[in-house]
Structure 1
């Protein structure tokens, strides 16, 4: 049995590898805006769960013949911050201007990073079980000075990550603390993923063994 990671995120891949799992990476290509458009004024948890599920379903269908006995994990994250017009949910900035505006708004404040995961179980090439869940972690941001922020934006790192920051990269210099699960902020919550795997009858130990990282039994 193999774990299929339905994400292009190198941070998620690194977290799983460090945790003893050797996932196969497949990218879904899901149109996130199209998925969001099917929902009516969704709460952040509903939105990230729907996106994670959509990604996992596309990948599960694509790999079912090649990997008939597998678990597919889909992921999505968004940052909820208090803006001038109330609570705002933001994803990847995409441009330097949007990333700058976002940092100017959240510097010295806190935001709630909402992470959604979906786990699909394939057996004999057929989808036999599916589950999903979400987790919230509060991130307390520092106040980068003008030179620091300009350099961070110029690095390109914050443009393609949820909320416009990372914990495990350059952005980690500007995160004062985290209240919750650190791996969730990086992109994949190990505790949540473990619980969802258990719901479809898979133990993390099975995945360690598949990767050749399980400790030897006495």
Structure 2
């Protein structure tokens, strides 16, 4: 099986990939996300496009340091009342964000981009729609006290895979999209490229020998 390197401090993405049977290492992207994002917002790009641009920027930066590797960039943007939101800067910002969104609906846009030798060869963007409960300010206080600074690692100030699920009334969308890694289309792409030695393609297509670029000794790099 080809090696995967996850350039992210997200334990959940790493766990999902390992649970899917992938070996991964860590190699974070060195970019200023906010500096890239600011002109995109000023140009009134959609939340989906902003997520895709950031994901591609991460993948491209790492690809420049890893020739011959498949590099996957991941990013997630929250859209609420027509505006895009990134991760809260501090606990007070997290509190304000949660109180603003209570009883309301917001959208999470998760983008994946794969770059190979500075060429983008695959893109995917998925959206989930979430409605929060009309919880009290006291509930938010208790939630943030229990969650701590982990709330600052998510664009929504919540981790749905933990106590954050208690904030919600209704969710429409794929779980993996919500946690920032639309896993099923990613795995499908890698299988189509023959990246699983023990996954025989039912039609015999996309064998390693048929690929337009070498993979046998290559690594996979995931950037988020």
Q: TM over 0.5, yes or no?
A: yes
C-alpha distance in structure 2 between counterparts of 1:108 and 1:206, whole Å: 47
Deviation for aligned residue 1:127? 4.7
Q: Which among 168, 175, 178 is matched to residue 168 of structure 2? A: 175
- Does the CA-based 8 Å contact 1:28-1:58 persist in structure 2? yes
- Does the CA-based 8 Å contact 2:99-2:140 persist in structure 1? no
Q: Residue 60 of structure 2 aligns to a residue in which SS?
A: helix
- The equivalent residue for 1:60 is 63
C-alpha distance in structure 1 between counterparts of 2:138 and 2:87, whole Å: 22
Deviation for aligned residue 1:196? 4.6
C-alpha distance in structure 1 between counterparts of 2:86 and 2:101, whole Å: 14
* Structure 1 residues 145-156: aligned runs within 5 Å: 145-154=136-145, 155-156=148-149
Deviates more, 1:40-49 or 1:165-174: 165-174
Q: Residue 178 of structure 1 aligns to a residue in which SS?
A: strand
Deviation for aligned residue 1:72? 1.7
- The equivalent residue for 1:216 is none
- Point out where structure 2 has 5 or more consecutive residues left out of the alignment: 200-215, 217-224
Deviation for aligned residue 1:195? 4.8
- Does the CA-based 8 Å contact 2:3-2:22 persist in structure 1? no
Q: Residue 46 of structure 1 aligns to a residue in which SS?
A: helix
- The equivalent residue for 2:184 is 191
Matched, 1:50 2:53: yes
Deviation for aligned residue 1:89? 0.9
C-alpha distance in structure 2 between counterparts of 1:32 and 1:133, whole Å: 19
- Does the CA-based 8 Å contact 2:99-2:137 persist in structure 1? no
Q: Residue 31 of structure 2 aligns to a residue in which SS?
A: coil
* Structure 1 residues 157-176: aligned runs within 5 Å: 157-176=150-169
Q: Residue 88 of structure 2 aligns to a residue in which SS?
A: coil
C-alpha distance in structure 2 between counterparts of 1:51 and 1:187, whole Å: 13
- The equivalent residue for 2:134 is 143
Q: TM-score, normalised by structure 2?
A: 0.77
Q: Higher relative contact order by CA 8 Å / sep ≥ 6: 1 or 2? A: 2
Q: CA distance change for structure 1 residues 148 and 4 in 2, over 3 Å: closer, same or farther?
A: same
C-alpha distance in structure 2 between counterparts of 1:197 and 1:136, whole Å: 21
Q: CA distance change for structure 1 residues 128 and 159 in 2, over 3 Å: closer, same or farther?
A: closer
- Does the CA-based 8 Å contact 1:2-1:71 persist in structure 2? no
- Point out where structure 1 has 5 or more consecutive residues left out of the alignment: 211-218
